Structure 1
């Protein structure tokens, strides 16, 4: 699949995503540990993550329509410039004694609103760079880029936070957002739109708003006729709910159960990413062609076993091994699910439809982080990790038996 990287525009697009995910994970490790040090509360970490992750859901439907109608390159460039500047506010306010939890929540909320352009845009725009037959390989490369960022980012974030402090680490991550903006800018404008048959809108604002409303209605109408897309989004929603409690409670689990620091937290997520990277290579290499209900259900079940086991461990090395294996079995989900959606949705309405699907599926993550934070303070971090795994396994079994997903990749080609 790496022959696709010969195209300089496609390679710039993929590298930009890698850079963004690298910056994102470095900043999240620094921010999560900063909040933990200040509050010692899983719920406070949960509030921050919930604020950051619920925001893109509020903007996702509109963002999908905007990506379909307006200049994609300009949107991606400006978005990441603004996100970098917002991130810079956190250390600046902290050094001046003005930073509070409320301000952090506001900053990450606005940052999250903007992040939808990259999150939805990457999946929406990707088919503009490759042919239909190379779509799954291109999605695999996009997933690998993200997983590589997740591989390096948490470890780098953990070590930088240990040696430089969270505030300086956040300043460092601003450079990643600026670099991504530059990479998007150097791709010719027309490349972002070469999969589109419709012209970009240059209408007055009233007509633009009416176009957005019309396109949203068209999206919901399309989904009513293709209920399998609703099923896929619902599965991802539930998976997010059962997975997400790990995010706010893991810093507390590391601090209390492992007596570790930010570097331990970073290494756990980095080892997970190494496993995910290996899992992506294996999945694409083996070219599985089974029912989607089987592939998605097995992936969910196997990942659920990882937190089930980790919740009972205090040995860091064993936890690293379990998280590596967990990453391997988790990775295929981020290849199979978007490829299935992309093949089911026509090019000209992909942005708005995936925006709606993203909102449906994504609501599970802030719900999961919010509940995970509360449960972490109520029943303890280890118990929260255990129940996260337990309910994930149950979900996997339900998906495995789902008859509406009994289709194979060959049936969609």
Structure 2
């Protein structure tokens, strides 16, 4: 607990933690319910395809929102962005059970509502991690990011089990109703801390110390250039670009896994057990990561990719179910360092003024990768079956990890600091 104590004592995080915990539990429940409800509503002969489309719809529109809504949302605080995302999810996820219980839910309407709920997902994610950088010093970024990962992964322990019970007692629509309520709690939590999430005093002094000519640069930029400033900043820094590429391919190749898991199991309760096993390993890994403030971030990121790919391979060996659960627990353990380490690299390399735009651009790219992999995985699952799909993903991810090791060894990344003058177009 010591590395987390300064984070928990922060006045902003202390107010947010209950809402984050409740919302994470809702996310853990919806991980089971979204695919299971699609199985129930979709035509039987197209179940694999529609499961993939539904899962993709829950994330993919975030990329569209990151581009189309950049102008009205740029310059807002991290807490404000996260609150808007949570409020939007409350409205559209809440509409799904209302339609289901009235008998009016079709697979098309279901997919459309999931897509609308995800429109601000890239900005919401950027808002959460921008808040970390805004209210905490850099030495607390790793434990703070790890704490957010712990909450997310802990939700995959309790969430799927609770979802399985709710589906057995009621139906999958009831799970999404509960998830909508948890997003409402999160929206209120972020709204209450908006006025307290100011930049640290050190960052304000640094910004005030910039020459007047540099502070005026942003005002002179065309709007189209400002809109793409986050992506341009990533392209200019080879370290950020390399990490973005690694993350894109990692999440793309992971994309078919959520499609395969519901078909890999025999019931909603078994799906819940598989997710829970993964979550147990991920929680242990995330907690351990937070206790490593001097964690070598690049080796941890690349090692996580390689180990995760290798640990998917035994799922194609037709082992007993207990062995599958153990394998997924180990895969969760391998996965856990990646979100914390990769996000910490972005936070450390990016100036505070550019961070919301850079993280939103990162989110826009990554929010495409997993759904794209999901869409590609749907016909793969339909053609080869869930076990073969999991093995294929494992092999591809392991190869990606080996490629990253080779690049890291033979093309060392620069150590120079991020050029704030070139990135001045990011500033709000």
TM range, smaller chain: 0.7 to 0.9
Match of 2:183 in 1: 177
Q: Against the structure 1 CA distance between its residues 219 and 77, is the aligned structure 2 distance closer, same or farther, given a 3 Å change threshold?
A: closer
Structure-2 separation of matches of 1:226 and 1:309 = 38
Match of 1:202 in 2: none
Q: Pick from 157, 163, 175: which aligns with 1:157?
A: 163
Pairing 1:38-49 to 2, within 5 Å after superposition: 38-39=41-42, 40=44, 41-49=47-55
1:281 aligns with 2:287: yes
Q: Against the structure 1 CA distance between its residues 326 and 370, is the aligned structure 2 distance closer, same or farther, given a 3 Å change threshold?
A: same
Match of 2:256 in 1: 245
1:373 aligns with 2:378: yes
Q: Pick from 218, 222, 225: which aligns with 2:233?
A: 222
Pairing 1:201-216 to 2, within 5 Å after superposition: 213-216=224-227
Please report how far the alpha carbon of residue 382 of structure 1 lies from its aligned counterpart in structure 2 after TM superposition. Answer: 1.2
Q: Pick from 308, 323, 326: which aligns with 2:313?
A: 308
Match of 1:2 in 2: 4
Q: Pick from 331, 338, 341: which aligns with 1:336?
A: 341
Please report how far the alpha carbon of residue 15 of structure 1 lies from its aligned counterpart in structure 2 after TM superposition. Answer: 3.6
Q: Which runs of 4+ in 1 moved over 6 A?
A: none
Structure-2 separation of matches of 1:277 and 1:212 = 42
Where in structure 1 are there 5+ consecutive unaligned residues? 200-206, 256-260
- C-alpha contact (below 8 Å) 1:250/1:381 kept by paired residues: yes
1:29 aligns with 2:29: no
Structure-2 separation of matches of 1:356 and 1:59 = 11
Please report how far the alpha carbon of residue 295 of structure 1 lies from its aligned counterpart in structure 2 after TM superposition. Answer: 2.6
SS across alignment from 1:69: coil
SS across alignment from 2:60: helix
Match of 2:323 in 1: 318
Structure-1 separation of matches of 2:309 and 2:146 = 22
Please report how far the alpha carbon of residue 138 of structure 1 lies from its aligned counterpart in structure 2 after TM superposition. Answer: 1.1
Match of 2:352 in 1: 347
Structure-2 separation of matches of 1:72 and 1:122 = 6
Please report how far the alpha carbon of residue 240 of structure 1 lies from its aligned counterpart in structure 2 after TM superposition. Answer: 0.8
Please report how far the alpha carbon of residue 378 of structure 1 lies from its aligned counterpart in structure 2 after TM superposition. Answer: 1.0
Pairing 1:95-110 to 2, within 5 Å after superposition: 95-110=101-116
SS across alignment from 2:354: helix
Structure-2 separation of matches of 1:192 and 1:32 = 39
**TM-score (norm: length of structure 1):** 0.88
* Larger deviation, residues 188-197 vs 147-156: 188-197
Q: Deviations over 1:342-376 (max 9, x none)?
A: 11110001111122222223322111101111111
Structure-2 separation of matches of 1:283 and 1:28 = 24
Match of 1:85 in 2: 91
Q: How many equivalent pairs are there?
A: 398
Please report how far the alpha carbon of residue 106 of structure 1 lies from its aligned counterpart in structure 2 after TM superposition. Answer: 0.9
- C-alpha contact (below 8 Å) 1:300/1:330 kept by paired residues: yes
- C-alpha contact (below 8 Å) 2:82/2:125 kept by paired residues: no
Please report how far the alpha carbon of residue 387 of structure 1 lies from its aligned counterpart in structure 2 after TM superposition. Answer: 0.4
Structure-2 separation of matches of 1:217 and 1:319 = 44
- C-alpha contact (below 8 Å) 2:51/2:378 kept by paired residues: yes
SS across alignment from 2:407: coil
- C-alpha contact (below 8 Å) 1:154/1:266 kept by paired residues: yes
Structure-2 separation of matches of 1:127 and 1:276 = 24
1:272 aligns with 2:299: no
Q: Deviations over 1:276-325 (max 9, x none)?
A: 11112223334565471x33222111111222111223522111111111
Q: Pick from 133, 137, 153: which aligns with 1:127?
A: 133
Please report how far the alpha carbon of residue 263 of structure 1 lies from its aligned counterpart in structure 2 after TM superposition. Answer: 1.3
**TM-score (norm: length of structure 2):** 0.85
Where in structure 2 are there 5+ consecutive unaligned residues? 209-217, 419-428
Match of 1:231 in 2: 242
- C-alpha contact (below 8 Å) 2:81/2:127 kept by paired residues: no
1:363 aligns with 2:368: yes
Q: Deviations over 1:67-94 (max 9, x none)?
A: 5412554443343223112112111112
Match of 1:204 in 2: none
